[in-house]
A and B are shown apart, each in its own frame.
Chain A
Amino acid sequence: AIQLTQSPSSLSASVGDRVTITCRASQDSSTFAWYQQKPGKGPKLLIYDVSTLESGVPSRFSGSGSGTDFTLTISSLQPEDFATYYCQQFTSYPVFGQGTRLEIK
């Protein structure tokens, strides 16, 4: 079974910081996305196909990577960005990473 390993599992940062979250896949695939989830809400699609920004998502979010290593970068943290982030890969079904909780320092 495919596994996605996110790091770090939690992160403390300040408004204005640049933040990077990584995701390593056990299998090569370019079908890769990032989601943001806030408490009590369903996830929100941020980036798909590794680096394509979903409509309406601020340009401070970006995705990169290839093969088995992928990165989500937030260039300048805003107060509304404190949330949990999940990576997702799709081969025959969606598989999610374990999540990265981004907290205010």
Chain B
Amino acid sequence: QVQLVESGGGVVQPGGSLRLSCTASGFAFSNYGIHWVRQAPGKGLQWVAFIRYDGSDTFYADSVKGRFTLSRDDSKNTVYLQMNSLRPEDSAIYFCAKVSVTFGETYSDYWGQGTQVTVSS
């Protein structure tokens, strides 16, 4: 069955870095784009970034542009979110999600359980 597992979260000081991983199984990973969405404590969902199925394009929310970088390694069925210059307002649960349509980008039909990122001194 389809599964996405996030890892790499933790506690980091402001200005620090973390690399999140999203490891997938149960589907043809190289045919699907991956979104990252975050959720601050008690708050709603906020889109963070997207990488196309072939890694040819990446897109970022204005709030993270220039600080976060997405990449993918199809040999490991994994997408990486490199987060630099972290700020307290980046604290959230980070979810990765598979797009619902081959080569698409619009909706996400499978989500991971999320990994917690806390930015605090």
Interface SS of chain B: strand
Q: Which of B72-107 contact A (CB under 8 A)?
A: 95, 97, 100, 105-107
Contact of A40 with B by CB under 8 A: yes
- In this complex, the interface size class of chain B, counting residues with CB under 8 Å from chain A, is 20 to 34
Interface residues of A in 57-105 (CB under 8 A from B): 86, 88, 90, 92-99
Nearest CB of chain A from residue B65's CB, rounded to whole Å: 12
Contact residues, A26-56 vs B (CB, 8 A): 31, 33, 35, 37, 40-45, 48, 54
Give chain B's interface residues, CB within 8 Å of chain A. 35, 37, 44-47, 50, 59, 61, 95, 97, 100, 105-109, 111-114
Interface residues of A (CB under 8 A from B): 31, 33, 35, 37, 40-45, 48, 54, 86, 88, 90, 92-99
